[in-house]
Chains A and B, each alone.
Chain A
Amino acid sequence: MKKSVFFGALTLAGLGAGVAAAGTLDDVKARGKLNCGVTTGLVGFAAPDANGEWKGFDVGVCRAVAAAVLGDATAVEFVPTTGKTRFTALASGEIDMLARNTTWTFSRDVDLKFTFVGVNYYDGQGFMVPKELGVSSAKELDGATVCIQTGTTTELNLADFFRANNISYEPVPIETNAEGQQQYLAGACDTYTTDASGLAATRATFENPGDHVLLPEIVSKEPLGPLVRHGDNEWGDVVRWTLNALITAEELGVTSTNIADMSAAPGDNPEVNRLLGTEGNLGEMLGLSADWAKNAIMAGGNYGELFEQNIGESTSIGLARGLNAQWTDGGLIYSPPFR
């Protein structure tokens, strides 16, 4: 607030050049805070708890980046965004990065001018129906009413799927996942469709989860990942390699519990040494301190730990690793080498 209240209109004049003048990395360092866009609330991925602390899988990525850049996992300003406001918030420079379970698509990458720096969750769109509907395949949903979140890729996938199978549907547009859940339970729609992770999380909170089934069809690829603006590759590299550091840490067995020992002195594994900054100068190349990856991993643990704490099988959401297992375990999570 402060003076901007009085002078907001006046300052408008002299500030044409604005957004892209300095690099985002420098901006973040100068500000001492990372502005990270998250969802207004999605179980397991991002939501504030009773004390107002943001918790979740996407939140973990934000905190890791803040820790890598600023050395402080709490130096994050979480900016809640809805499906409609998220891209303008990023494009206008209100936020430095967006970690809001956003699907990496061609048009978002190319046309909207964003850079997806990686994938932190491989998802796919599924359908949930009440058991009593007696449907065992999404192809039997001819003429069904479908609850669908507007402004998302799921809306487009749904249209594609029904058109490809030459069946009809009636959409019931909804705004948030919470609303979709309520509409579905109230019987406003025959089936609720969104990312399979979201469906599983939603079903877990039902009074009688057994009365609802997830249909076997996964009708789309939904690689969800953090993204930044086009044209600032240094900053893109920072976010990309922070995510990769979390993934590599799991692959190499570096966890939040043993990282203090492993980073104290160079060990036998050269890649661990390079990752943790005890050998080589990877941090310097990124424009960060040598212990950037160590800070990022200590913020919330490695990729596997983040997954387990927020959405894994020990939580009420109970998602299996599936596609999101390390490539060594038959999943798709794969980081280029730290070299």
Chain B
Amino acid sequence: MSDTHAQTVAFVRETTIPESPPPAAETGAIKWLRQNLFATPANSLLTVAALYVIWVVLSGSLPWIFGGLWTTTSLAECREILQGRTGACFSVLSERWNQLLYGFKYPADQYWRPNLAFLLLFFAAAPVLFFDLPRKMLIFTGLYPFLAYWLIWGGSLLVPIVALLGFLGGALVYQRFIKTSFAAGFFGGIAAAFVIWTVAGAIIPENASDNAMLSSVPSRDLGGFMLNMMLGVTCVSLSLPIGIALALGRQSDMPLIKWVCVVFIEFIRGVPLITLLFVASVMLSYFFPPESTVDLFLRVVIMITMFSSAYIAEVIRGGLAALPKGQYEGADSLGLDYPQAMQLIILPQALKISIPGIVNVAVGLFKDTTLVSVISMFDLVGMIRGPILASTEWNGVYWELLGFAALLFFVVCYGISQYSQWLERRLATDHR
């Protein structure tokens, strides 16, 4: 090798160059900066501009946050202490946190009840959200609505028990008759549930709630973020099955069912939610005599559920439409009947496609629960806009309160969004 080029080339290196570290510009943080932030002159310009914006935002907000006061008793006192210095008046949060979370009328010594209900919500939701968990946990999920109702509203334990018995009775009748005909099972189940509620409801004494273990709290006394959570959780979990039923009904071959579903969906989607809420709070009270009005909370739940189930139905219809016709035909060729085909083949695929859309509706619905503040229910935003800003002490505190509300909503909505992304990854069967 050494002689090969001796005549043609003046110099040949015969040893390898010792290893040296890469140039400073091609390593570590500098390389990262160069590649990601200053790759081209235009990028550099954008980076500088972005840094400037971040600096402006932080230099304005950080002193405000860290200079904040937590212990004063009124806005005037905050201003006195700050003397024109920048600083937030977080004292409103430390004084009124309970009103922001629970509303101003929920008895303070009973706060453990919604807290416990909130905690149990995670156990109840876990087997639904994470299907690797043992299926036996679903029993608790089924009991949870009645348990949570009893915890939050209190009163006689008989009320949720009767409600539960009604559902169980209905389910038994359904099981019994479903083998002969779907209609018999379906309507028989509903009738059985109503019979149980009527009979048992008449048995519950009027004053059953007076000496109950948990003191009774009327719906009007619920408020704050608790109300948003309750409305959000109830309406999402109710509107999903109703939405699926509506989506399937809209695709049905039976004209009556099809047109009922179409009219329902199109009507609800054509009306703003706030109109429905006004109907719930204002118009319905004209139809019911004052003594026997349906609870306002229930009226609002019905309206929001109707609204979101119409949207979810359309999202799921999109998922159904996206399935190739072969899937339907495949199910038929296996000899599956309609419920089996839907349950085993169509819906698992259609729902998977619909996840982003459903989550989108759920997040939107959760934030829409703040609209109840316009019908004088004191949810988180209602508490801020009404009682707290109207108190002589805290009139004029906006950023702190609304920032706090935004933070709470962000935490929940971000959580929902993260879960849905996990779910999509988990269900990915990679057709790509």
| Residue contact A41 to B387, C-beta cutoff 8 Å | yes
- Interface residues of A toward B: which range? 35 or more
**Chain A residues positioned under 8 Å from B298 (CB to CB):** 1, 5, 8
CB-CB under 8 A from B218, the residues of chain A are: 1
Among A40, A77, A92, which residue has its beta carbon within 8 angstroms of that of B386? A40
Count of A-B residue pairs with CB < 8 Å = 153
- In the bound complex, do residue A316 and residue B387 qualify as a contact, i.e. CB atoms below 8 Å apart? no
CA distance A42 to B391 in the complex (A): 7
Please report the C-alpha to C-alpha distance between residue A164 and residue B411 in the assembled complex, in whole angstroms.
52
Mark B353-395 against chain A: 1 for CB-CB distance below 8 A, else 0.
0000000000000000000001110100010011111111101
Q: Which of A11, A50, A89, A316 has most chain B Cβ within 10 Å?
A: A50
A284 on interface, CB distance cutoff 8 Å: no
Interface residues of B in 288-334 (CB under 8 A from A): 288-290, 292-295, 297-298
A42: contacting residue among B209, B290, B390, CB under 8 A: B390
Contact between B99 and A52, CB atoms less than 8 A apart: yes
Question: Does A231 belong to the interface (CB within 8 Å)?
Answer: no
Chain A's nearest CB lies how many Å from the CB of B131?
32
Complex Cα gap A19–B290 (Å):
7
Which residues of chain A come closer than 8 Å to B159, judged between CB atoms? 1-3
Which of B278, B286, B376 has its CB near the most chain A CB atoms (within 10 A)? B376
> Within 8 Å of chain B (Cβ to Cβ): is A330?
no
CB distance from A173 to the nearest CB of B (A): 13
With A15-B289, A18-B290 known as contacts, the answer to whether A3 contacts B204 (CB < 8 A) is yes
From known contacts A12-B288, A80-B376, infer whether A50 and B95 are also in contact, taking CB-CB under 8 Å.
yes
CB-CB under 8 A from B391, the residues of chain A are 41, 43, 47-50
Residue A92 contacts which of B79, B220, B285, B297 (CB distance < 8 angstroms)?
B285
**Cα A84 to Cα B75 with chains together (Å):** 30
Cβ-closest chain A residue relative to B76: A316
Q: Let me know if A327 is at the binding interface, CB within 8 A.
A: no
Q: How distant is the Cα of A181 from the Cα of B386 in the complex, in angstroms?
A: 13
Does residue A329 face the partner (Cβ distance < 8 Å to B)?
A: no
B396 sits at the interface (CB 8 A)? yes
Find chain A residues with CB under 8 A from B378 CB. 40, 80
Query: CB-CB < 8 A to A15: which residues of B?
Result: 288-289, 292
Q: B376 contacts which chain A residues (CB < 8 A)? A: 40, 79-82, 85
Any chain A CB within 8 A of the CB of B228? Answer: no
Q: Of A6, A84, A85, A178, which one neighbours B163 at CB under 8 angstroms?
A: A6
* Interfacial residues, chain B to chain A (CB-CB below 8 A): 75-76, 79, 95-96, 99, 104-105, 153, 155-156, 159, 163, 166, 197-198, 201, 204, 209, 218-220, 278, 281-283, 285-290, 292-295, 297-298, 374-376, 378, 382, 385-393, 395-396, 398
Chain A residues packing against B (C-beta within 8 Å) = 1-12, 15, 17-19, 39-44, 46-50, 52, 77, 79-82, 84-85, 88-89, 91-94, 175-179, 181-182, 201-202, 205-207, 315-317
Instruction: Enumerate the 7 nearest inter-chain pairs by beta-carbon distance, A residue then B residue, closest first.
Output: A41-B390, A18-B289, A8-B294, A40-B386, A93-B290, A178-B389, A41-B386
Q: A15-B289, A94-B285 are in contact. List 14 more A-B contacts (CB 8 A).
A: A1-B295, A3-B201, A4-B295, A5-B294, A5-B295, A6-B163, A6-B201, A7-B197, A8-B294, A12-B288, A48-B99, A48-B387, A92-B282, A92-B290
